[in-house]
Structures are given as C-alpha cells and as structure tokens.
Structure 1
Amino acid sequence: MSVGGVDLHVRADGPVDGPTLLMLHGFGASTAWFDQVVARLPEFRIIRVDLLGHGGSERPTSGYDPESQGRLYSRLLSELDLTDVTVVGHSMGSLFGVATAEHSTRITRLVLIGEGPDTSTGTLPAGEWIIHIPWIGPILQHHGPAFVTSRVVRRAFAPGFDMTTAFANPGQGLDDARSLNHPAFTQSMKQRQAWTRQRGLDARLANLGLPALVIFGREDRFYNVDAALARYRAVQTITTTALEHVGHTPIIEAPDRVADLLREFLDRGDTAGNE
C-alpha cells in the first residue's frame, strides 16, 4: 500500500468482521515473526505491517523516529477505515504502537511485548556501537560474518530455545536482520532513546488512559524484567504478566500462551491486574 506517499508491505489475515488487531514487529524483524501467534487467532482480523526500512516496506533515508512512524501507521488505520483496534507491538514495535495511539482515536487497547518503558531498563549487545560508524557500519551489517548477526538474533530468545522451531524459513532471522537499511538501523536506535527519555512508555500509557497489557519473558536478555515491570505496575490502566522460561520473543517462544493472553485481555475489558 502507498500510505501518505510511503510504500508499506501490509498483510491481512482472518475474517473481515473479526476483532481487529494491528501487529507491529520489532527492530530487525518482519511480519513473519508473528506467524505462529496469527495461526492461533483465526477469529481475529489481523493487520501486519513491515515497519519502515524493514522487510517489503520502503527504505527511505529518514522518518524512523517514533513520532513519524506513529503518524504513518495512524494514517494506515484511516486508509483501511479500521476502528476499535488493539495494537500488538513486539519490542521496538511497542514504541511505534504507543506513538500510533497518540495520533489516532481508532485505537482502544494496547499490548506491549518485550519492551521496557525506556532504555534505562535495558542493555544493548556488546559492540553495537560499531554499526553506527559511517561506511563501516553498513558493510558489517550487510556483509559481515553470518555467525555474528545470527548470534545477535539468538539473543532475542531464551538460552536453550530451539531455533529450528522459530520460523518456517530457517534463515528468516538472519535475512530480516540484514534487510533493513543503515538509516533505519542507526536512526531507530538513537531516536528511540531520545523519545523515551522525553517521556517513558509508562508515562505515555498513563496519559493515554487506554487499557494496556504488558508481556515479558522472565529470561529476556535485553531488559531487566523486574525493573521494567515495576514501572508499568505503577500505572492503573496497565496489566502485566511475566512468562517463565521465555526470553525476549514470547510471540515465537510461547505463542499458545500469548494467544490466550490476548483473548483474555480483550474479553476482560478495562479491568487491570498483574501476574
């Protein structure tokens, strides 16, 4: 689809009259990362988008900040004429989901999976700074040793998780990590930090006042789960849950549980709680 002059790869699954979910994947991923959850939610109308700079979407040189992306996906909802939408974001897709809700009245609930309220509750892979170096960074990202990129992708899962069960295409994780352009890589990381430093996701959700569900895996290797959950639990409208023996990517590591949690959240209405 062309949305405001930007080409986006959009996928729709499920009955047109089903409850609508907008799924936004994480950094260096694609719509394929939601495949297992989507297969377990056949009654929902699910819209998935390859984020700007990822997968089959356009790769411009700018526009990767949360504000710009929030306006972009808000416009997508308008173009599709969708209402009463629940946004499901994984990792960095959670930021863009919150930003979209700040620009659209079509969103009524939010689900954040594996994303802390700001970068103070998280850690980046060692050596990540190298990718930001002009000329050197793009070469390493697209042509560096596959085992290095695969190791970073592997960090998105709990230790011991069987990666052969993650994707239908065994090379999906590596392909997705290498697909985004260099501006998407560097700008997304830097502008994400600035945006959440201005106001964390916990404060933004409190300001929105919409029912929200936050899901973490206990073995997340990108975030201090206890610190992140403590921040979210302080907001009355947020329900939190932590899944044992699961890492940063519950949508692949525990798709049955995630599907159940989504159904429970939508059925429960506005009542918040914690597990």
Structure 2
Amino acid sequence: MSVDGIDLHVRADGPVDGPALLMLHGFGASTAWFDQVVARLPEYRSIRLDLLGHGGSARPASGYDPDSQGRLYARLLSERDLNDVTVVGHSMGSLFGVATAEHSTRITRLVLMGEGPDTSTGTLPPGEWVIHTRWIGPMVQQYGPAFATRRVVRRAFAPGFDMATAFANPSQGLRDARSLNHPAFTQSMRQRQAWTRRLGLDGRLDNLALPTLVIFGREDRFYNVDASLARYRAVRTITTTVLEHVGHSPMIEAPDRVADLIRQFVSTG
C-alpha cells in the first residue's frame, strides 16, 4: 500500500476484529521473521510490514531516521483505522516501534525484543565498518561472499541453534540481508545512534508511560543483556523477561514462549 506516497509491503493476518498487533522486524530482516509467532496467535489481527529499504517496501535515498519512520508507520495505523494497538518490535524494529508510539496515540502498549536502550550496551560484528565505505560498501553488501553474510545473520541466534528450523525458506536470512539497500544500511545505523544519544529508549519509554514488555534472550550476541536490563528495570512501566538458551531473535528461537508472553501481556498489561 502507499502511505504518504511511499510504497510499503504490508501483510495482515487474523480476524479483522481481533486485537491489533503492529509487528516491526529488525535490521536486515523482513516480515518472514515473524511467521512462527503469527501462526501461534491466530486470534490477533497481526499487521506486519517490510521496513523502509527492506524486502518489498520502497528504497528511497533518505528518510531512514527514527522520527521519519515513526511518522510513516503512525500514518499507516491511521489509514488502517487501527486502535488499541500493541507494537511488537524486534531489534531495530523495537526502536522504530517506540518512535511510532511517539507519533501516534493509537498505540497503547509495546513488546520489544532484543534491543538495548542505546548503542552503548551493544556490539557490532567485526568488520562492519567496511559496509559504510563509499563504493566498496554497496558491492560488499550486495555481492560479497554468501558465507560472510550468513555468518552475520547467524549472530542473530544463540550458539548451537538449528538454523534449519528458522525459516520456511532456507535462504531467507541471506536474501533479507541482501535486499537492504545501501542508504538504508548506512543511514539507519548512524541516525539510530544519534537518536538514542539524545534520549535512550529507557528515557523515551519513561516519557511515553505506556505498559512495555522487554524480552531478551540470555545468549544475545548483539547486546549486553545485564547492562540493558538494568536500565530498563529502572522505568516503572517496563516489565522485563529473559529467556534462557535463546539469542537475539526470541520470536524464532522460542516462538511458543514469545506467543504466550504476548498473549498474557496484551490481556493483562
């Protein structure tokens, strides 16, 4: 669908009168990363979309900062006339979910997975700086060795996780990572850092005062879990949950548990 003249690939599942979920995937991912959780929440109206610059959505030269994307997804909720919406965000999608809540009164609660309050509690893959290099970066991202891209995707899961169970399409992770356009890669990373430096997600959630559930896998390889949780737990409206033997992508690694947590949180949160 077109939102403010920008094409977004949007998928809706479940009954039209079911409780609304807005699902925002992480960096270099797609709507497919929520397949397993959506299948376990058939009573919900699950709205998921490919983030700007990803998958089947538009790939403009700019507009990847959190505020611009927050306004865009807030407009999507308005055009779909969705109310009492629960945001379900993963990784960077959590950040955009918070930005959307700052621009929309239609959101009443948030579920955030695998995202620290700011980049001070996170780590990037070795050599990530190469992707930001002019000329070289786009070539490496789009046409670099598949094994190197798969290794980065693999970091989104706990050591020992069976990647054969992650997606219906075994090449999904590689395809999603390569579908990301280069402006989205460089701008999202840099502007995200600047946005959270002004005020971290913990501070923004404190200002929003919306019930929020933060989920981390104990074996997350992108964030220091304890440091992230310490800051989130200082905010009165945030509840935290840690899943043992799970990495950065709980909705794929532990879909039954995540579906149960979402269902319980929406009904009582």
TM-score using structure 2 length: 1.00
Gaps of 5+ in 1: 270-275
Counterpart position of 2:68:
68
Counterpart position of 1:146:
146
Q: How far, CA to CA, are the matches of 2:252 and 2:24 in structure 1?
A: 14
Residues 162-216 of structure 1 deviation map (CA, whole Å, 9 limit, x = unaligned): 0000000000000000001000000000000000000000000000000000000
- What is the one-letter code of the residue matched to 1:243? L
Counterpart position of 1:82:
82
Counterpart position of 2:247:
247
Deviation at 1:268, TM superposition (A): 1.6
Gaps of 5+ in 2: none
Counterpart position of 2:199:
199
Counterpart position of 1:113:
113
Aligned-pair Cα RMSD in Å: 0.4
Q: How far, CA to CA, are the matches of 1:268 and 1:234 in structure 2?
A: 21
Counterpart position of 1:272:
none
Counterpart position of 1:181:
181
Deviation at 1:147, TM superposition (A): 0.2
Counterpart position of 2:131:
131
Deviation at 1:264, TM superposition (A): 1.0
Identity %: 84
Residues 67-107 of structure 1 deviation map (CA, whole Å, 9 limit, x = unaligned): 00000000000010100000000000000000000000000
TM-score using structure 1 length: 0.97
Counterpart position of 2:97:
97
Deviation at 1:267, TM superposition (A): 1.6
Counterpart position of 1:235:
235
- What is the one-letter code of the residue matched to 1:210? L
Q: How far, CA to CA, are the matches of 1:105 and 1:85 in structure 2?
A: 9
Q: How far, CA to CA, are the matches of 2:13 and 2:80 in structure 1?
A: 14
Q: How far, CA to CA, are the matches of 1:110 and 1:204 in structure 2?
A: 12
Q: How many residues align?
A: 269
| More displaced 10-residue stretch of structure 1: 61-70 or 260-269 | 260-269
Residues 117-162 of structure 1 deviation map (CA, whole Å, 9 limit, x = unaligned): 0000000000000000010000000000000000000000000000
Q: How far, CA to CA, are the matches of 2:193 and 2:112 in structure 1?
A: 17
Deviation at 1:2, TM superposition (A): 0.3
Counterpart position of 1:15:
15
Structure 1 residues 215-226: aligned runs within 5 Å: 215-226=215-226
- What is the one-letter code of the residue matched to 1:22? L
**Structure 1 residue runs of 4+, over 3 Å off?**
none
- What is the one-letter code of the residue matched to 2:126? A
Q: How far, CA to CA, are the matches of 1:212 and 1:43 in structure 2?
A: 21
Residue aligned with 1:123, SS:
coil
